[in-house]
Amino acid sequence: MKFIRPIILLCLIALLSACGDEDNSEPPALLTSFTRTADLDQQWSAITGDEIGQQFLFIQPLLLDDLIVVAGRNGVLTIFDTEHGYELAEINLDEELSGGIGGNSSKVLVTTRDGSVVCIDLGDKTVSWKTRVPSEVLSRPVLYNNIVLVRTGDGRLLGLDLGTGKIKWSYAQTIPALTLRGSSSPVIARGRVFVGLDNGRMIALSPIDGEVIWDIALTVPQGRSEIQRLVDIDGRSELYGRLLYATSFQGRMAAIDVSTGQFVWSRPFSSHSGLTVDKDAVYSSDDMSYVWALDRNTGATLWKQEKLKLREVTRPVLFGEYLVVGDYEGYIHVMSKFDGHFVARTQVSDSGLGSGILVPPVVQGERIFALTRDGLLASYKLKQIVKEDLDF
């Protein structure tokens, strides 16, 4: 199976459209000034050593009550206290990691480049079990009671026993020869598991035995070339009430009734980062790095923020009345969720270290945590400006 990274794909499309002429692809937008109404105050930062460099690995930090767990491709997991940033433990697996971190307050799960799922006991910081699966896992393992759900790169969804690591069931679909590098994590709600696949299909299964409940095409591949027919569902899908919201690359965004598997609404949309939902809107960043807010009930556009064009922004994350995204230069942007205007901005750095932000920031209460490609982890609080507004 061939993988292609989204940013490489965009460059290929630009080069092909130039018909062999000199590369005239559009550069990322420069940052523009705005009137700040808040500041991002850094509470602490830590150089974790858990870097991913230029690898396209979505290893998002895992928040567990007052702990945050980070990991890099080198197989080192570091656990920090969220309040002060104290390093509490370091676990070296001596493995090259490939996917995100999952788990709960007692067990942490990671996946390796050679196609293994590893379970770590947080009590004694030792490996409880390691299970080889059919291929590399690029998404975060998800827990449902005592079942670990993992999606492999060859199109399988597996259910593993949390206690032993034994594979209890397996579900597979044929996937295209060419796909984006990455996989969406399963969403578990209402006693079902919902998964978006690389062939543009969305499925609902029983997490107990993998039995299929419904199977629909979110997007149908179109075009003659393999690149034109890429329709991966690689980003985050989310359930709100009885509706599942999902989006695909070069396809569409839709709201799906989880009881019946029927579309409530759909519209053309292209994103490989996924979406976030609240009671009013669906928020997403598209493949041009435009940030959108769509009406949750109809899919109609509420607003569109275009000033981060081609800055490789992450999926928007909700933070109270705001949205937070990271970009390729390591900036955190805070914007109003009501109209998309910018509120605050800062660059994650420490003594000149730090780089781009690939995974979305994570939020807990009043704190925003951001992790750079170079393994710099930083915690921020948003402080409203009460003095005279200043231009950033």
Instruction: Name the residue ranges covered by the structural domains of the chain.
Output: 51-172
- CB-based burial of residue 43 (10 Å sphere; 0-12 exposed, 13-18 middle, 19+ buried)? middle
Level-2 CATH architecture, domain 51-172: Beta Barrel (2.40)
Helix, strand or coil for residue 149?
A: strand
Q: Exposure of 211 by Cβ count < 10 A (0-12 exposed, 13-18 middle, 19+ buried)?
A: exposed
Say what the pTM is: 0.90
**Phi-psi label, residue 155: left if phi above 0, alpha if psi -120 to 50, beta otherwise:** left
Residues 235 and 274 sit within 8 Å (Cβ to Cβ): yes
Per-residue pLDDT of the chain (392 residues; tens, 9 = 90+): 555 555 445 444 444 444 445 557 889 999 999 999 999 999 999 988 666 655 657 788 999 999 999 998 888 999 999 999 999 999 999 889 988 899 999 999 999 988 999 999 999 999 999 999 998 888 899 999 999 999 988 888 999 999 999 999 999 887 755 556 556 789 999 899 999 888 888 999 999 999 999 999 988 777 677 776 666 787 899 999 999 999 998 889 999 999 999 999 999 999 989 999 999 999 999 999 999 999 999 999 999 999 999 999 999 999 999 999 999 999 999 999 999 999 999 999 765 555 899 999 999 999 999 999 888 999 999 999 876 544 54
Return d(Cα 133, Cα 384) in angstroms, integer.
48
- Write out the two tokens for 335: 């914007």
Q: What pLDDT sits at residue 17? A: 45
